[in-house]
Amino acid sequence: MRRHWVYLYDEDDGDRLAAERQLARYGVDESLLRSFSNRIDLLQAIDALDRVAVALVDLQSDERSGSNYSGHRIVETIRRHPRLRERCVPLVYTVHVREDVVELACEHGACGLISKTDLDVPAAERARIDLVGFLEELRRRPPSHYAGAADYTAEQFPCFPDVQRARERLRAQEARLRADLGSVLDDIPRIMRRPYFWPAIRYFAEGTDPASVARWIAEDYGAAKRTVELELDSLRDHLAPRYKVRGADMAGFARDLLERAPHKRRALAPDDLDSVRVLQRLSALEGVLRSRSLRAESYLDEAALRAIDRVVDPLVGVRRLAGKVGASHYANDLLLRLSRIEPDEQARKRLRVELVRGVTNMYDTYLAHEARSARAQTATVAAPSAQRA
C-alpha cells in the first residue's frame, strides 16, 4: 500500500496535471503524491490520515489570468480545524510570489509558500533545489510549531526556493506595464492617475456593476460620486476600442487589463471591507448555510459557525433591490445590519472576518458538492456507453 504524504490541490484539472509533472521533476512522484481537484475530497482524505501529510494548495482556479483567490480558504480551514491541523501542514503553491500574496498566505495560516514559477528552471539547475527535503523538514516539525492561526510574520515566512527572483520579476512586470501604456499616457483619462484606478479595475473584474463601483470608490476615497461616474465613463469610451470591448463590458476590459498586469490583482486581507462587499447574498444562501451535511463537509471552526448563526436569522427575507444599484445597496444594508447585531466596533470587525470565513468556505463546499455530484452522474452515464462499445 502506498504511503502518500504529499497532497496536491488544484481545482483546474489541466493545471493540476501540469503541477504533477513539475513536482515529478523534483522527485515528488506518484509514490509520494496524491492529487485532488475537489475541496471535499481533499479535506476528507486529510481527516482520514493516520500520519502527517503536506498539502500544496493552489490559490486560484486560473492562476495566470484569474482575479479570484480562493485556495487560502482551504488553508485556513485546515489550520483552524482541531483534527485537520494535527494531520496536515498546508502550503500555498502558486505562480504569484508578491508581498500581498505572501501576506495572504501568512494571515490565513499557511505554513509556507512554494513558487511554481521559480521551480521552472533548466534541468541543470534542478539538482540544487531540494524540494523533497524542504517538504520533509516542514512535515517533521511538531504540531506545536504551527500552534497559531498564523505563526509567521511575512519576513519570517518560508518561501521556496527563494523570493529574490520573484522581486525582480515584479519590477520587470511593472516596467513592461508602464511601457505598454506609455503611448497613451499623455491623453489617458484622468482616472488612470487616480489612487483608486486599480481598485476600480479589480471591482469590475469581479463582475461588479458600474453604479456599485462608483459608489464604493467614492466612499472609500472620499471622492465625489458623480466625478467617479464621469471618470469611469470616460475611461470606457477612451480605452474600449484599444481592448476591443463593446459597449459597457467593463468586466471584460478589466480582466484583460489584469491579465497583462497580474501583479495588480491584489489579494484581499481578512478584514478588508471588499471581502464583505463581494460576499454572496446571505438571504439567498440560507438553505446552504443551514445544511447539516454541508456544515460537516465544510470542516468549519466554531467561531465561523457561530457567526453564520448569529447573522443569517436577521437577514432572512431581505430583498435585493432590482437594477444596477442592487449590489451596492445590498452590501451597505449588510454592513448596517452588522452594526446593529454587534454595536462594538472591534467585536464587529471580528464578526465580519468570521462571517466571511464561514460563508465563503460553506459556499465553496456547496460548489464542490455540486461538482462532485455532476462528475458522478457523468461517470454513471458513461459506464453503460462504454459497456455497449
Per-residue pLDDT at 85: 92
pLDDT tens digits along 33-74: 999 999 999 999 999 999 999 999 998 765 554 556 788 999
Q: Residue 202 pLDDT > 70, yes or no?
A: yes
Q: Residue 1 pLDDT > 70, yes or no?
A: no
Per-residue pLDDT at 2: 63
Residues 156 and 247: their CA atoms lie apart, in Å, by: 47
Per-residue pLDDT at 170: 74
pLDDT tens digits along 3-29: 899 999 998 899 999 999 999 999 999
Per-residue pLDDT at 329: 72
Other C-beta atoms lying within 10 Å of the C-beta of residue 142: 8
Task: Round the average pLDDT of the chain to a whole number and report it.
Answer: 82
- Specify the DSSP class assigned to residue 51: S
Residue 350: C-alpha distances to residues 107, 227, 346, 357, 381 (Å): 14, 34, 6, 11, 47
> DSSP states of 86-112 as a string?
HHEEEEEEES---HHHHHHHHHTT-S-
pLDDT tens digits along 140-192: 986 666 655 455 555 567 889 876 777 777 777 777 777 766 554 445 567 77
Q: Please, which contacts does 122-125 make with residues 24 or more away whose CB atoms are closer than 8 Å?
A: 123/25
Residues 77 and 241: their CA atoms lie apart, in Å, by: 44
Longest Cα pair distance anywhere in the chain, in angstroms?
A: 67
Element at 140 (helix H, strand E) = helix 131-140
**What's the pLDDT band for 237 if we cut at 50, 70, 90?**
confident
Q: Above pLDDT 70, what percent of the chain? A: 81
Element at 55 (helix H, strand E) = strand 53-58
Q: Residue 323 pLDDT > 60, yes or no?
A: no
Q: Which residue has the higher pLDDT, 351 or 237?
A: 351
pLDDT tens digits along 96-132: 788 888 888 888 889 999 999 899 989 988 989 999 9
Closest among 245, 243, 250, 246 to 212, alpha carbons compared: 250
The CATH architecture that domain 6-162 belongs to is 3-Layer(aba) Sandwich (3.40)
Q: What is the mean pLDDT of residues 332-341?
A: 86
Q: Residue 232 pLDDT > 80, yes or no?
A: yes
The domain segmentation of the chain, as residue ranges, is: 6-162, 168-264, 273-375
Q: Residue 321 pLDDT > 80, yes or no?
A: no
pTM of the model: 0.82
- Of 44-48, 173-177, 242-246, 329-333, the one with minimum mean pLDDT is 242-246
